[in-house]
């Protein structure tokens, strides 16, 4: 194996490499929420300054530029909503800083994909994080077994501000308030976010060339999904397995020979299958009936207030909900309801159009370019998580996936497909 194939070759790759492989170190320092915005804005400055000072030029696709337009619309909606709602200059400045650490990253990191950052560096780094997870896993489980404090400390870095103290705390485990069973969130702010990262690392593992690191990636990512006990994470994981199996075997006639009788049988037993699916969905929701109820009530309140109070530009900020939703912020737990409530129809259309344009740009190359296949899987994963999480808040975690999307868009524009390193 060529050792250079898996080690950083330039300063841009080194920044990404150490930011990813140092995940648990940054977690111990309570600095996870800080690292991604710092890395993103530094690499953006490098990307924009090199053509001016060093004469270097980078290929940037129209889709990457559209993300900048879409996220700029988010900022415009934020500004107009703050003035319309009379929220004041102080809140506007605070919200703008939040935009720079959240929605802006969804445009910055795809653009960074135009830098000379090889995708396989990111894949390997993700597998190394999975390896570290497997090594540390017995400690996390033992901490719950011997009843150590669930949260050890909150980093002083929380003084810089963020969505909440959980983004800066070092937590060994947490207990589900409904069932009392343990859940683990590791380096993420809450357990479902760990499920998201498990799915992202599974996508990276599918592209890894080394069998040893591919094993770390698969075992570590599955552990994250199971430890999170997230229903959405499990559904997403299964869909991703199906997606990559189809990508691999879509040319095989056996796939279609197996599909024909399966579809025929499904047609003959359609009604009973639909009933089973409905029963499964109900049982799935009842696993955490309290959580499902709160999410539904939050959605109802967000939609009602959006439609009646601030349809175009939104309310500008999230608001504390009533006792009915356990005082959860209105606009949380769901990207689309949150966007409608906070940034109105403009914000929701901005994100939806950017995701659709990106998906259509990548689908043309999904069978001919492995990077595009990985990028499509990431877009599908992100889309699924819009129904259970706020992307803005978790962008600091899944930013490596955004770089892969940008890299795929760049390679599709140039027509160059980098050869994977040989294990």
Q: H/E element holding 347?
A: helix 335-363
User: Which residue's entry shows tokens 């719950």?
Assistant: 144
β-pair partners for 183 = 174
Phi and psi based region of residue 344 (left: phi greater than 0; alpha: psi -120 to 50; beta: remaining): left
Q: How would you write the pLDDT of the chain (423 residues) with one tens digit per residue?
A: 444 457 888 889 999 999 999 999 999 998 999 999 999 999 999 888 887 766 677 788 899 999 999 999 999 999 998 888 888 888 888 888 889 898 999 999 999 999 889 999 999 999 999 999 999 999 999 999 998 888 888 888 888 877 788 888 998 888 877 677 888 999 999 889 999 999 999 999 999 989 999 999 999 999 999 998 888 899 999 999 989 988 876 666 655 555 566 555 555 555 564 555 555 555 545 555 556 667 777 777 878 888 888 788 888 787 776 666 666 777 666 788 888 888 889 999 999 999 999 999 999 888 888 899 999 999 999 999 998 888 889 999 999 999 999 999 998 776 665 555 544
Tell me the two tokens of residue 105: 């990253």
Tell me the two tokens of residue 86: 């009379």
**The predicted structure's pLDDT at residue 255:** 57
Label each residue of 41-65 as H, E or C.
Answer: HHHHHHHHHHHHHCCCCCCCCHHHH
Identify whether the C-beta of residue 31 lies closer than 8 Å to the C-beta of residue 59.
no
Question: What is the distance between the alpha carbons of residues 159 and 377, in angstroms, rounded to a whole number?
Answer: 36
- How far CA 110 is from CA of 67, 171, 297, in Å, comes to 8, 31, 34
User: Which residue's entry shows tokens 């356990």?
Assistant: 326
**The predicted structure's pLDDT at residue 2:** 42
Q: H/E element holding 135?
A: helix 119-145
Distance of CA 12 to the CA centre of its chain: 22
**The predicted structure's pLDDT at residue 317:** 80
- How far CA 315 is from CA of 87, 141, 309, 396, in Å, comes to 9, 42, 8, 24
**The predicted structure's pLDDT at residue 7:** 80
66-72 CB contacts, 8 Å cutoff, 24+ apart: 66/353, 66/354, 66/357, 67/106, 67/107, 67/110, 67/111, 67/354, 67/358, 68/107, 68/111, 70/107, 70/350, 70/351, 70/353, 70/354, 71/103, 71/104, 71/106, 71/107, 71/350, 71/354, 72/107
22-26 CB contacts, 8 Å cutoff, 24+ apart: 23/129, 23/132, 23/187, 24/129, 24/132, 24/136, 24/187, 26/187
Around Cβ 422, how many Cβ atoms within 10 Å?
Answer: 9
Question: What is the distance between the alpha carbons of residues 132 and 235, in angstroms, rounded to a whole number?
Answer: 25
**The predicted structure's pLDDT at residue 401:** 95
**The predicted structure's pLDDT at residue 280:** 53
Does the global pTM surpass 0.85? yes
The dihedral built from the CA positions of residue 399, 404, 405 and 410, taken in this order, carries a sign that is positive
**The predicted structure's pLDDT at residue 359:** 94
């Amino acid at each position: 194996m060529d050792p250079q194939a898996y080690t950083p070759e330039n300063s841009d790759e080194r920044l990404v490499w150490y930011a990813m492989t140092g995940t648990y170190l940054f977690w111990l320092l309570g600095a996870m929420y800080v690292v991604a915005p710092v890395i993103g804005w530094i690499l953006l400055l490098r990307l924009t300054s090199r053509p001016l000072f060093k004469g270097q030029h980078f290929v940037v696709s129209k889709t990457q530029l559209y993300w900048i337009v879409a996220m700029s619309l988010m900022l415009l909606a934020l500004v107009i909503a703050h003035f319309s709602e009379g929220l004041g200059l102080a809140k506007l400045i605070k919200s703008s800083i939040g935009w720079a650490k959240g929605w802006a990253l969804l445009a910055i990191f795809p653009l960074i994909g135009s830098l000379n950052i090889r995708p396989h560096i990111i894949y390997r780094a993700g597998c190394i994080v999975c390896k570290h997870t497997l090594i540390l896993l017995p400690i996390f489980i033992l901490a719950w077994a011997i009843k150590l404090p669930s949260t050890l400390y909150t980093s002083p870095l929380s003084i810089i501000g963020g969505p909440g103290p959980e983004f800066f705390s070092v937590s060994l485990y947490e207990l589900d308030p409904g069932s009392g069973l343990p859940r683990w969130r590791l380096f993420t702010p809450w357990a479902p976010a760990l499920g998201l990262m498990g799915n992202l690392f599974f996508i990276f593992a599918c592209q890894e060339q080394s069998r040893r690191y591919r094993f770390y990636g698969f075992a570590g990512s599955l552990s994250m999904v199971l430890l999170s006990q997230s229903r959405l994470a499990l559904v997403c994981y299964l869909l991703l397995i199906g997606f990559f199996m189809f990508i691999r075997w879509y040319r095989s006639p056996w796939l279609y020979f197996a599909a024909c009788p399966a579809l025929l049988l499904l047609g003959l037993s359609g009604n009973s299958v639909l009933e089973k699916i409905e029963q499964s969905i109900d049982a799935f929701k009842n696993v955490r009936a309290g959580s499902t109820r709160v999410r539904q009530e939050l959605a109802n309140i967000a939609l009602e207030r959006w439609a009646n109070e601030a349809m175009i530009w939104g309310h500008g900020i999230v608001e504390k909900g009533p006792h009915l939703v356990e005082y959860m912020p209105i606009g949380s737990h769901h990207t689309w309801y949150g966007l409608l409530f906070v940034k109105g129809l403009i914000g929701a259309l901005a994100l939806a159009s950017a995701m659709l344009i990106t998906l259509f740009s990548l689908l043309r190359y999904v069978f001919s370019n492995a990077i595009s296949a990985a990028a499509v899987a990431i877009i599908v994963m992100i889309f699924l998580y819009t129904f259970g999480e706020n992307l803005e808040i978790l962008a600091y975690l899944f930013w490596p996936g955004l770089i892969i999307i940008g890299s795929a868009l760049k390679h599709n524009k140039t027509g160059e497909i980098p050869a994977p390193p040989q294990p």
